[in-house]
């Protein structure tokens, strides 16, 4: 079987795609998989690191505001469609999978026009513009949240949850390895701060402003900042001068990071929410307000309304985030409640279910 998987732009698209690919290879190691991404985007580095081949399209997104950059959009889209047709013709896939992001549009269109069955995987509670546009041609649409009939034909929808990296499911087995990796003390509480694969400015600035409060409370901090903030974060950590704080631009061993976390501070991207459900860690979510249709707030509220997470708005984070985190660290009963409730929302077999749907389309 030959499968093309297309999309990317953020870790929230890339890692589910890799999880689907891994599951397809687990079911049948002879499966051939080709990834298609957008040139210059992070999938062009992350996918080869995971062991798969990827080719890039010159496609870019269209800006919501009026800008000169939009003038080049039609030309790059046209070039991407031609390149996508060439890729489909040369690779001859049995099925094409789109996970959202710029590149999935041209590729899934090219596959559909060649009569190749397509599957869409939508991670968020509010469907992305690319997936909504591709839905009319898709044979199957795998979603992570109920109620997606608002965006897609009901007869095409399969509720699977979001696929995550397989190592995340076994995070609890990595506690000792995590303490060794991050040089942590077993007797101290640990806060894991993650702002998504590219970092989160509001979260970073909130942590910067209140970092000394964590240190004064004897709390260990694992701080993933994203590449754009890491230099500043290192200056802040040096100024604090405490071995309790570790800053990283990106953390590849997320299973070990989750394993040692007492609580987690995170954006509310679909992948982060799905991972938190699987690892069952008490979480404080700070949704990114500029996400399309405010979908991160909708993702977060799916947990909050089930007493499975706490929410601090982006607007209030600088004043409230550190205090909320310290209060949670001092309340073991609340930690247990949040942990217990968030685990009930986990869908640990999402990657396998999606892989099986992909295989059905080839028969």
| β-bridge mates for residue 224, sequence order | 194, 248
38 strand-pairing partners: 57
How close are the terminal C-alpha atoms of the chain, in Å? 10
**270 is annotated as contributing to ligand binding:** yes
> Is 273 assigned to a binding site?
yes
Six-digit token string for 360: 């059905």
**Beta strands 283-285; 32-38: pairing state:** unpaired
Whether residue 47 is annotated as binding a ligand: the answer is: no
Answer yes or no: is 165 a known binding residue. yes
* Residue 124 known to bind ligand: yes
Token digits for 38?
């957008």
Residue 213 counted as an annotated binding residue: no
- Whether residue 116 is annotated as binding a ligand: the answer is no
Tell me how far apart the alpha carbons of residues 13 and 122 are, in angstroms, rounded to a whole number: 9
Question: The tokens 């687990």 sit on which residue?
Answer: 26
Total residue length of the chain:
363
* Among 143, 104, 162, residue whose Cα is nearest residue 352: 162
Q: Is there a binding annotation on residue 162?
A: no
- Confirm or deny that 322 is annotated as ligand binding: no
How many angstroms from the chain centroid is the CA of residue 263?
Answer: 19
- Strands 32-38 and 53-57, sheet pairing: parallel
Report how far residue 197's alpha carbon sits from residue 275's, in angstroms, rounded to the nearest whole number.
Answer: 13
CA angle 11, 14, 17 (to 5 degrees): 145
251 is in an annotated binding site: yes
Nearest to 275 by CA among 164, 145, 159: 164
* Bridge pairing between strands 140-143 and 283-285: unpaired
Phi, psi of 284 (to 5 degrees): -115, 115
Give the tokens for residue 4: 């093309």
Q: Which residues are annotated as a binding site?
A: 10-12, 124, 165, 197, 251, 270-275, 296
Q: Which residues are annotated as a binding site for UDP-N-acetyl-alpha-D-glucosamine?
A: 10-12, 124, 165, 197, 251, 270-275, 296
């Amino acid at each position: 079987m030959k499968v093309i998987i297309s999309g990317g732009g953020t870790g929230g698209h890339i890692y589910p795609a890799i999880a689907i690919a891994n599951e397809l290879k687990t079911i049948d190691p002879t499966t051939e998989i080709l990834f298609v991404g957008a040139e210059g985007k992070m999938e062009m580095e992350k996918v080869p690191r995971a062991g798969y081949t990827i080719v890039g399209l010159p496609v870019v997104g269209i800006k919501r505001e009026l800008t000169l950059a939009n003038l080049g959009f039609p030309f790059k889209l046209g070039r991407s469609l031609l390149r996508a047709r060439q890729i489909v013709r040369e690779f001859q896939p049995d099925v094409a999978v789109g996970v959202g992001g710029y590149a999935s549009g041209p590729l899934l269109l090219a596959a559909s026009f060649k009569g190749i069955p397509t599957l869409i995987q939508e991670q968020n509670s509010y469907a992305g513009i690319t997936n909504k546009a591709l839905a009319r041609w898709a044979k199957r649409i795998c979603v992570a949240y109920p109620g997606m009939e608002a965006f897609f034909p009901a007869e095409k929808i399969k509720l699977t949850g979001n696929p995550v990296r397989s190592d995340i499911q076994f995070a609890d087995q990595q506690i000792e390895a995590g303490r060794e990796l991050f040089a942590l003390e077993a007797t101290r509480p640990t806060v894991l701060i993650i702002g998504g694969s590219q970092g989160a400015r509001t979260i970073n600035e909130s942590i910067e402003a209140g970092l000394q409060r964590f240190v004064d409370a004897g709390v260990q901090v694992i701080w993933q900042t994203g590449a754009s903030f890491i230099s500043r974060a290192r200056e802040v950590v040096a100024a604090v001068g405490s071995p309790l704080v570790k800053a990283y631009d990106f953390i590849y061993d997320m299973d070990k990071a989750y394993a040692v976390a007492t609580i987690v501070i995170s954006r509310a991207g679909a992948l982060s929410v799905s991972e938190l459900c699987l690892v069952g860690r008490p979480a404080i979510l700070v949704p990114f307000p500029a996400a399309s249709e405010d979908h991160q707030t909708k993702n977060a509220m799916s947990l909050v309304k089930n007493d499975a997470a706490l929410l601090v708005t982006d607007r209030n984070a600088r004043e409230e985030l550190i205090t909320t985190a310290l209060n949670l660290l001092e309340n073991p009963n609340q930690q247990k409640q949040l942990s217990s409730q968030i685990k009930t929302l986990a869908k640990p077999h999402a990657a396998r279910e999606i892989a099986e749907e992909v295989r059905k389309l080839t028969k």
